[in-house]
Structure 1
Amino acid sequence: MGFLAPWFLAGAVAAGLPIYLHLLRRHRTTPLPFSSLMFFERRTQSSIKHRRLRYLLLLAFRLAVILLLALAFANPFIERSAASISGDKLDLLVIDDSFSMRAGTRLADAKRDALSVLDARKPSERAQVMALGSQVHVLTEPTQDSGVLRSGVNSVQPTDTRASFGELAGTLRSMAETVHTPIELHLFSDMQRSAMPGSFAEMALPGNVSLVLHSEARGSEPNWTVESVSAPGEVFDPKKSRVQAVISGYHTPAAKRSVSLVVNGKAIATQTVDVPPEGRASVEFSSLDVPYGLTRCEVRIDSADSLPADDASLFAVKRSDPRKVLFVYESNDTRSPLYFRAALTSAAESAFNLETVTVDRVANAQPAGHDFVVLSDVASLPSSFESALTNYVKAGGSVFVAAGTSAARHPRIPIFGDTITDSRYYSREGARFLTVGQTDPSYPSVEKANRWAGVKFYFAVRVAGTDARVAARLTDQTPLLLEKKIGEGRVLLFASGLDNFTNDFPLHPVFIPFIDQTARYLSGMETRAGSRIVDSFLELRTAKEQSVGVEVIDPDGKRPLSLKEATAAQSFQLTRAGFYQLRLANGRQDLVGVNADRRESDLDVVPKDILALWTGNTGTSSPEASSGTVAQDQKKPYSLWWYAMLLLLVAAIAESLLSSQYLTMSREEP
Structure 2
Amino acid sequence: MSLLAPFYFLGAAAIGLPILFHLVRRRPKQRMAFSSLMFLRPAPPRLTRRSRLDDLLLLLMRALAILLVAAAFTRPFFRSAASTQWEPPGRDLLILVDTSASMRQAGVWDDVLETVEQTLEDLKPQDRVGLMSFDRQPTTLVDVAIAADELSHADAVVAAMKTLQPTWYDSDLGLALATAADQLNGLGGEQARLSRKVIVLVSDLQSGSRLDMLQSYPWPPDVRLRIEPTTPADSGNASVTVLEPTEEPETPGVEPDPQRRVRVFNSPLSTAAQFTLHWVDAKDQPLDTASVSANVPPGEMRVFRMPTQPADAVAVQLVGDAQDFDNRSYVSAPEPVNKRLLFLGDSSAEPRERLSYYLQQASFDTALQTIQFEKLSPDAAELETLSVNEVALVVVAEPYSNAAAERLDDLLRAGGRVLCVLSEPVQASSDAQRLINRLTTGDTSSADEDVDENEDDDERKRAIRIREADERDYSLLVDIDFRDPLFSIFADPRFSDFSKIRVWSHRTVEVDASSDWQTLARFDDGAPALLRLDVGDGQLLLLTTGWQPTASQLALSTKFLPLIARMMDPTAGESKPRTQYTVGDPLQDAWRAFSTWQGPDGRVETIRPTATDMTDWFATPGLYHFAGDGLQQTVAFNIDARESETQPIDADKLETMGIRLSSHELTDEQLAEQKRQMRDVELEENQQWWRWLVLSALGLLLTESWWAGWRARRLG
TM-score normalised over the length of structure 1: 0.58
User: Secondary structure of 2:314's match?
Assistant: strand
Trace 1:190-589 onto structure 2 (pairs within 5 A): 190-198=204-212, 201-202=215-216, 205-217=219-231, 221-230=235-244, 242=258, 244-251=260-267, 253-262=272-281, 268=287, 270-275=289-294, 276-277=296-297, 278-286=300-308, 289=311, 298-317=314-333, 319-320=335-336, 322-325=338-341, 344=364, 348-349=366-367, 351-353=369-371, 371=391, 375=395, 380=398, 400-401=418-419, 403=421, 406=424, 410-412=428-430, 417-418=435-436, 421-424=466-469, 433-435=478-480, 461-463=507-509, 472-473=518-519, 480-482=531-533, 492-496=541-545, 512=562, 515-516=564-565, 518-521=567-570, 529-539=578-588, 551=596, 554-558=599-603, 566=608, 568-570=610-612, 572-573=614-615, 574-582=618-626
For residues 361-385 of structure 1, what are the alpha-carbon distances to aligned partners after superposition, in whole Å with 9 as ceiling and x for unaligned? Answer: x99x999999456659x6x45x9xx
Find the partner of 1:175 among 183, 202, 205. 183
Q: Deviations over 1:514-538 (max 9, x none)?
A: 6445324499xx9754331122211
Structure-2 change in CA distance of 1:228 and 1:286 (3 Å) = closer
The alignment's C-alpha RMSD in Å is 5.7
Instruction: Supply the AA of the counterpart residue of 2:258.
Output: R
Distance 2:498 2:197 in 1: 68
- Output one character per residue of 1:213-233: Cα deviation in whole Å (capped at 9) or x when no partner: 11113699333322124369x
| The structure with more strand, counted as a fraction of residues | 1
Query: 2:630 and 2:175 mapped to 1: Cα distance?
Result: 37
Question: 1:298: how far off?
Answer: 2.2
Structure 2 counterpart of 1:116: 118
| Matching of residue 598 in structure 1 with residue 645 in structure 2 | no
In the other structure, the counterpart of 1:87 is 89
Shift of 1:312: 1.8
- Determine the structure 1 residue equivalent to 2:687: none
| Preserved contact between residue 540 and residue 570 of structure 1 (Cα < 8 Å) | no
Measured after TM superposition, the shift of residue 174 of structure 1 is 3.0
Q: Secondary structure at the match of 1:194?
A: coil
Q: Which residue of 2 aligns with 1:125?
A: 127
Residues 277, 293 of structure 2: 8 Å contact kept: no
Mean CA deviation greater in 258-267 or 118-127: 258-267
The amino acid that maps onto 1:301 is Q
Cα distance between partner residues in 2 of 1:85 and 1:579: 58
For 1:630, the equivalent position in structure 2 comes to: 663
Assess if the C-alpha contact under 8 Å between 1:481 and 1:495 holds in 2.
Answer: no
Alignment of 1:70-109 (within 5 A): 87-109=89-111
Q: Structure 2 length normalisation: TM-score? A: 0.55
1:115-159 per-position Cα deviation (integer Å, ceiling 9, x unaligned): 111111113210001112111111112254322121122322010
Q: Which residue of 2 aligns with 1:607?
A: 650
Distance 1:304 1:510 in 2: 51
User: C-alpha separation between the residues in 1 aligned to 2:610 and 2:417?
Assistant: 35
Question: 1:189 touches 1:214 (CA, 8 Å); kept in 2?
Answer: yes
1:285-308, Cα deviation, whole Å (9 max, x unpaired): 435536xxxxxx522224322331
SS at match of 2:179: helix
- Asked whether the equivalents of residues 483 and 493 of structure 1 are also in contact (C-alpha less than 8 Å), the reply is no
* Contact 1:540–1:571 (8 Å) recurs in 2: no
Letter in 2 for 1:519: M
Q: 1:215 to 1:429 in 2, by over 3 A?
A: same
CA distance in 2, matches of 1:534, 1:159: 10
Is the contact made by 1:241 and 1:288 (CA closer than 8 Å) also made in structure 2? no
After superposition, the C-alpha distances for 1:477-501 in whole angstroms (9 at most, x for unaligned) are: 968124779xx99975334556999
CA distance in 1, matches of 2:609, 2:417: 34
Query: How big is the shift at 1:408?
Result: 5.4
Contact 1:186 1:211 in 2 (8 A): yes
**Where do 5+ consecutive residues of structure 2 fail to align?**
1-85, 247-254, 437-446, 448-464, 668-716
**How far apart are the structure 2 equivalents of 1:284 and 1:110?**
38
CA distance, structure 1, for counterparts of residue 302 and residue 471 of structure 2? 53
Q: Deviations over 1:378-400 (max 9, x none)?
A: 6x45x9xx899889858969774
2:334 and 2:576 map into 1 onto residues whose CA distance is: 11
- Return the offset for 1:248: 0.5
The 3-state SS of whatever aligns with 1:630 is helix
Whole-angstrom distance in 2 between the partners of 1:568 and 1:600: 32
Structure 2 residue aligned with 1:158: 166
Change in 2 beyond 3 A, CA 1:129/1:521: same
Change (3 A) 1:134 1:372: closer
Matched position secondary structure for 1:258: strand
Kept in 2: contact 1:336–1:498 (CA 8 A): no
Structure 1 alignment gaps of length 5 or more: 1-83, 233-238, 291-296, 440-444, 619-628, 635-670
Decide whether the 8 Å contact of 2:90 with 2:124 is kept in 1: no
- Residue 602 of structure 1, CA deviation: 1.9
Is the 1:325–1:352 Cα contact (8 Å) retained in structure 2? Answer: no
Please report how far the alpha carbon of residue 244 of structure 1 lies from its aligned counterpart in structure 2 after TM superposition.
0.9
1:349 and 1:541 map into 2 onto residues whose CA distance is 19
Instruction: Report the Cα distance in structure 2 between the residues aligned to 1:326 and 1:366, rounded to whole angstroms.
Output: 14
2:290 aligned counterpart, secondary structure? strand
1:461-482 CA-to-partner distances (Å, cap 9, x unmatched) read: 455789xx95623698968124
Task: Tell me, in whole angstroms, the C-alpha distance in 1 between the residues paired with 2:279 and 2:469.
Answer: 59
Report the Cα distance in structure 1 between the residues aligned to 2:187 and 2:560, rounded to whole angstroms: 59
Question: Compared with structure 1, are the counterparts of its residues 332 and 559 closer, same or farther at alpha carbon in structure 2 (3 Å cutoff)?
Answer: closer
8 A contact 2:201–2:227 mirrored in 1 = yes
Counterpart in 2 of 1:149?
157
Quote the Cα distance in structure 2 between the aligned partners of 1:498 and 1:602.
56
Distance 1:567 1:353 in 2: 28
Query: One-letter code of the match for 1:305?
Result: D
1:421–1:464 Cα contact (<8 Å) kept: yes
Kept in 2: contact 1:91–1:186 (CA 8 A) = yes
Amino acid paired to 1:178: G
Q: Is the 8 A contact 1:194 1:599 kept in 2?
A: yes
* One-letter amino acid of the structure 2 residue matched with residue 149 of structure 1: V
Q: Secondary structure at the match of 2:663?
A: coil
Residues 101 and 158 in structure 1, CA contact (< 8 A), matched pair in contact too: yes
C-alpha change, 1:607 and 1:399, in structure 2 (3 Å) is closer
Conserved in 2, the CA contact under 8 Å of 1:436 and 1:452?
no
State the identity as a percent.
15
| Separation (CA, whole Å) in 2 of partners of 1:503 and 1:110 | 73
Q: Is the Cα contact below 8 Å between 1:553 and 1:559 reproduced in 2?
A: yes
Contact 1:170 1:202 in 2 (8 A): no
Cα shift at 1:165: 1.6
Separation in structure 2 between the aligned mates of residue 508 and residue 326 of structure 1, nearest angstrom: 22
